[in-house]
Structure formats: structure tokens, C-alpha cells
Amino acid sequence: MEVTYLLSEIEAVAQKVLQNTKGKTILFYGEMGAGKTTLIKELLKILGAEDIGSSPTFSLVNVYETEDGTVNHFDFYRINDESEAWDMGFEEYLQSDAWNFIEWPEKVGSFIEEEHQKLEIEILDEGIRKLKFC
């Protein structure tokens, strides 16, 4: 499935992601500035997370509590080696029943074996994105 959208339509797109995802682990692919974090923030808002901040670029993970459980937001852009994810206990996060939103999942590819939803975000034009469910 593919969806082309304006950034002003991000709430409807986030709803569509939650309604059509194959699992609670969602992998976000796209170049820098494609809108991965923007979409994740909207997903967090819909799931009822409080204190939605920025991407966890420096801490690697931000953990949010909702009425329906935990949401983990990972950003692996700055890691140099998969062992950094191993050291922070990434595998245990994946084995939990929590939602896991993962930016730059290609940097931790050998960890991600269970069922997951892959999303690719592409910049088409200023303010226009294409989201592809893979």
C-alpha cells in the first residue's frame, strides 16, 4: 500500500499506519528530513503518550507510557556499530509487548527478526511525502 500526503494530513496518515500495521514493531526508512520523527510524534499522540519530545538521537531510545502500555522510540542514526544497540538491551525491548518505533533500522538489521512493519518515507516535493508499506 502507498499513500501520498501533505504534511498537514499527518494525523490521518498516522491513523492509517496504526490500522494497517502487521505488528507493534515499526521500522521507519527514509532520508534525513523525510519526516520519520514527525510521523512517529503523531503516532505517539494518537496512542496517548504524554511529554512527546524530540527524536532520541543522543539517548538512542525514549520510552513513553500510555494507557495501553509502553511505546519505545529508537533513533539509531548516530550509532557506529550494532554492539551499541546490544549494550543498551535493544533485544529485550523487541521481546517485550511494547510498541517499538525504530528510525534507521538498517543500522541494527541483525537484531530485527520477528514480525514487523516496514515503512518507507520518500520526499516528493516541499511538504509532500509518499509512504510505502512494505
Say what the pLDDT of residue 54 is: 61
Q: Are strands 61-66 and 117-125 parallel, antiparallel or unpaired?
A: unpaired
Say what the pLDDT of residue 68 is: 80
Q: What's the CATH architecture for 2-133?
A: 3-Layer(aba) Sandwich (3.40)
Contact yes or no for 31/124 (Cβ under 8 A): no
Say what the pLDDT of residue 100 is: 95
Say what the pLDDT of residue 58 is: 61
Say what the pLDDT of residue 113 is: 73
Say what the pLDDT of residue 45 is: 94
Give the whole-angstrom CA distance, residue 90 versus residue 95: 9
SS3 101: strand
In this structure, is the dihedral angle defined by the CA atoms of residues 92, 31, 8 and 134, taken in order, positive or negative? negative
Q: Which residues of the chain have pLDDT under 70?
A: 53-58, 114
Give the whole-angstrom CA distance, residue 6 versus residue 33: 14
